[in-house]
Chain A
């Protein structure tokens, strides 16, 4: 699977569409950092694919994201289960909750593969802080969202998060990307 450098080849969108996607992604990041997960889930379509491929350190850069292996591969239903699990109070690794901060930048919005789809590609930096630990966990990633709908009712149908590092330095991936 080669990296889909969509911005270079696909048609860019008008400024109004760009702004609406940008507002949407900032709002989404705000909800997830505020741990308003039920509202956050509503931003995803029912046929969601939410996936993080594994990167393997290879000479062939385009082959670094592995085509099959991943850190997570969720549907809307399993993503909702992850949220439910945290709500049980029995997810010890999120009790007390982590503090996360999503930095969403370098936004490129292009027309998707079908007329009603948009592709939003961002550089993502996520920090996770846990209690008295001195060190934060930091994840930098390439994030590609496929979105549906128009301003006001945009939804994410597909989110592919390719984390840069091949060896994660993280207790776990109990947070959302």
Chain B
């Protein structure tokens, strides 16, 4: 399935994309075009690690959730042997959808068509009329549920369809250092995710979450007006933009000089972070006000302080946000709120309440974003977009922060297109190159013009 040759129209788009990127631009059509989608669904989503679930969603043997993996529905189950698998939710007998609900606990999955039964390890354990119909000759071992690859980092379970994809650790390539800010102390999901379908292209969302600090004072201007921000418009731009070259992962960390380290975290959480973070992580994260990151291609990580009532103390919430593409210009958004396993119920409730007031379908900030993202997507789908290009120039001359203690490339200020250039360059590599292997992954050097300084 990875051998699809791009159609001529798509080839043309790819060339336009690479040519534009060499000038630090991106063609508008990449934000919403059916030809682009036809290629990226296989070449990006067929070859990347995709977030599936948090392991606290399936804590006990037999627990399962049904999740999308690059368009394929998979049952993410903790087997009786305590091993987590991602099995295609498709009966291998006639292709019927096997599991109908989307969460539960079961030792077996029975197909409602002819009754083949699978255990929660994906093994075919029962076939009706084995003797009368198959004369006992069908080999059950030949017909297990198909499995995707599964790998995880600190509770985040990812799946992949590409059999030769590098390990998740190689794929993340050091970005784990930054993921820890969202995952420390040990976290679990507060409850099932919020989900909604919206007419937004996944790349509009992913690019924004790759570290767009530029939009905040404008898109979310109401926050200043109502007194929601612990920073002013003047200090909003300060902070770090860090990316992992050639991998597409990046994080923007806004910082406000003079702010108390780890403000609004309760003391026991700060103590746990002091213990768990490396000195390098500690020195960076204590100053981060907001951290907005992307695990390429479509998992957003966000940690933000929010007071439910403006000008009153609040909490910090961490959220995972998945932009599952249904086609060009349309996604399902999935959002999970992470809360510390060890924290009190009151604290966890307070964090979740802050999260749903800020993000998710009713979130005050999410509402603003959705309005812009829908219209960017809509305009990109018009004929006018065929000849338009957008600038990715911000931060082209930025100095690399050589003394920055974290992995990857760090530039300042936080408002910067550098991470976006890395996102798009990585994306173009996926679209253009041969399938990645453990040996030849996506370490291709960026074109000179895309590098900073």
Contacts and interface: CB of A to CB of B under 8 A. Distances in A.
Interface of B: 101-104, 190-199, 219, 221-222, 225-226, 308-310, 332, 352-353, 356-357, 360-364, 366-368, 370-372, 374
Interface in A42-100: 52, 54, 56-60, 66-75, 77-78, 81-82, 84-85, 88, 90-94
A173 interface: yes
Nearest to A58: B101
A173 B359 CA distance: 11
B357 A78 contact: yes
Contacts of A70: 356
Nearest to B197: A169
B102 A57 contact: yes
B56 to A, nearest CB: 13
A93 B365 CA distance: 10
Given A84-B226, A167-B332, A73 B356 contact: yes
A20 interface: no
Nearest to B378: A133
A174 interface: yes
B103 A56 contact: yes
Interface of A: 52, 54, 56-60, 66-75, 77-78, 81-82, 84-85, 88, 90-94, 166-174
Nearest to A169: B197
Contacts of A69: 190-194
Nearest to B221: A90
B371 A57 contact: no
5 contacts: A56-B102, A93-B370, A166-B195, A167-B196, A168-B195
A149 B142 CA distance: 68
B9 to A, nearest CB: 27
Contact of A57 (B101, B226, B360, B374): B101
A75 B332 CA distance: 28
B197 A168 contact: yes
A68 B191 contact: yes
Contact of B194 (A54, A77, A82): A54
Nearest to B333: A168
Contacts of A166: 102, 195
B362 A174 contact: yes
A93 B357 contact: no
A58 B104 contact: yes
B194 A91 contact: no
A52 B356 CA distance: 11
B367 A174 contact: yes
A90 B197 CA distance: 24
A81 B363 CA distance: 12
Report, nearest first, the 6 A-B pairs whose CB atoms are least far apart. Answer: A69-B191, A168-B196, A173-B362, A90-B222, A72-B362, A93-B371
Contacts of B195: 166-168
Nearest to A75: B308
B370 A171 contact: yes
A102 to B, nearest CB: 17
A173 B362 CA distance: 4
Contacts of A170: 196-198, 361
Nearest to A135: B199
A92 B371 contact: yes
B198 A91 contact: no
A81 B104 contact: no
Contacts of A169: 196-197
Nearest to B374: A171
A113 to B, nearest CB: 22
Contacts of A90: 221-222, 225
B197 A167 contact: yes
B236 to A, nearest CB: 15
Nearest to B309: A77
A54 B191 contact: yes
B226 A85 contact: yes
A26 B362 CA distance: 24
Given A73-B356, A90-B221, A90-B225, A172 B197 contact: no
B361 A66 contact: no
Given A81-B226, A172-B367, 18 more contacts: A57-B103, A58-B103, A60-B104, A68-B352, A69-B191, A71-B360, A71-B362, A72-B360, A73-B356, A81-B310, A88-B225, A91-B222, A167-B195, A167-B332, A168-B197, A169-B196, A172-B363, A174-B362
Contacts of A81: 226, 309-310, 364
B98 to A, nearest CB: 14
